[in-house]
Structure 1
Amino acid sequence: MSTAAATPAPAPRPAPPAIREATPADVEGIVRVVNLAYRTQGGWTTEEHLVGGARTDAEDVRAAIADDTHLLLVAERDGALVGCCYTDRQGDSAELGLFAVDPTLQAGGVGGALMEEQARRRADEGLASLHLRVLESRPELQAWYARHGFVETGEVVPFAGDAADLKVPGLGMAVMVRALA
């Protein structure tokens, strides 16, 4: 008779989130998820130790929804908004931004699903690439983007928000790009 314990089966992976374009009714949920993901201590995407102030507000989100160069997607699970990201079309490329997942659901496939849906939709429009800016002191985020096809360009640009919010003066943002073709 064997005394070895049976290895438990791995937990089933949650179903992929439902992804759709954002509407004005989503504004408060988007603001909540983005600020939780970037400005609290929960989750691995937090910038709380590097940047102060709110990451976004309702006015910025409403403007993104109304702007026809932006594609703002939301992810839902069980009817709750759990993630978002937008792309801003710029010629034959689009900049990825406002990318956030509820910290309690990070590392569960929501972010990857949002990223791939943005890439698919922008490729279907004929765009050649996506690009993004990520804080240069966040190698774990750069590695995540690299696993999703982004390559570092070597370019570092100034912080995209209010420099007064930086807790690390002079912190820049590394530029990464992903070909869509």
Structure 2
Amino acid sequence: MTRQDNIIVREVTIDDLKYTQDAVTVVNSAYSTNEGWTSEHEFYEGDRAGPEEIENSIQENGISCRLFFAFDIIEEGKEKLIGTLRIDPPTSGLKGHGEVRLFSILPAYQSKGVGGRLVRFALARMQELGYTDCIMRVFETRTVLINWYKKMGFEENGERLEFHDQERLRVKGTTFITLQKTF
């Protein structure tokens, strides 16, 4: 767990099932609305995550994935979920690699350092767990976001992939680039 000011970042526990709907709201407000600078609303239709995916991620934490939450401590004993980040084994199956998924910050907390804290915490935890590399996929047209990740030490590795759900794409032909950080 890391704490700075009134923000806490930590790995989830089974007790965090109570935050399932809050996590769905954080993810979908960050990705599926036009509220924040990380929105992907212009690229695809629909929500990014539902309660089942979040519940499964919490229940499977430490087994099939690692899920991290960021909280704003509103007052003693009262916290507000403001960020999520999940690490999955990559679809490519490369040993020692982990893939960032569900990285989202509530729009009201974007551009305030919360995302950087969450990423740095997850990367440190990955190193503790023996990962050698972290990858993430970003729509190639999201240059502002790609540049932010590059400031965090990620580099393009040359891999491009089609979006997995072509029917939801608003902009046909949009692809992902893969960014990678080696520890």
| TM-score bracket, shorter-length normalisation | 0.7 to 0.9
TM-score, normalising length: structure 2: 0.87
**Is 1:98 aligned with 2:102?**
yes
User: What percent of counterpart residues are identical?
Assistant: 31
Deviation for aligned residue 1:173: 0.4
Which residue identity does 1:34 align to in structure 2? V
1:35 maps onto 2:23 in alignment: no
Deviation by residue 1:69-119 (Cα, 9 ceiling, x = unmatched): 211000000210000101013530100010000101101011001100110
Q: CA deviation at 1:19?
A: 1.1
- Show structure 1 runs of 5+ residues with no match: 1-13
Q: Give the RMSD, CA atoms, in angstroms.
A: 1.3
Q: In structure 2, which of residues 5, 25, 50 is the aligned counterpart of residue 15 of structure 1?
A: 5
Any conservation in 2 of the 1:75–1:81 contact (CA below 8 Å)?
A: yes
1:146 alignment partner in structure 2: 150
Other structure's SS at 1:153 match: strand
Per the TM alignment, residue 16 of structure 1 is displaced from its structure 2 partner at its CA by: 5.8
Structure 2, unmatched stretches of 5+, are 74-78
Task: Show the 5 A alignment for 1:127-142.
Answer: 127-142=131-146
CA distance in 1 between counterparts of 2:101 and 2:156 reads 16
User: What's the counterpart of residue 3 of structure 1?
Assistant: none
- Per the TM alignment, residue 15 of structure 1 is displaced from its structure 2 partner at its CA by 2.1
Q: How does 1:26-175 map to 2 (within 5 A)?
A: 26-67=19-60, 68-78=63-73, 79-90=79-90, 91-160=95-164, 162-175=165-178
Q: How many residues align?
A: 166
1:20 and 1:28 mapped to 2: Cα distance?
Answer: 18
- Cα deviation per residue 1:2-25 (whole Å; 9 max; x = unaligned)? xxxxxxxxxxxx826201223212
Q: Provide runs of 4+ in structure 1 moved above 4 Å.
A: none
The answer as to whether partners of 1:16 and 1:109 remain within 8 angstroms in 2 is: no
| C-alpha distance in structure 1 between counterparts of 2:37 and 2:98, whole Å | 25
Q: Which has the larger radius of gyration?
A: 1
CA distance, structure 2, for counterparts of residue 64 and residue 159 of structure 1? 22
Whole-Å separation in 2 of the counterparts to 1:16 and 1:70: 27
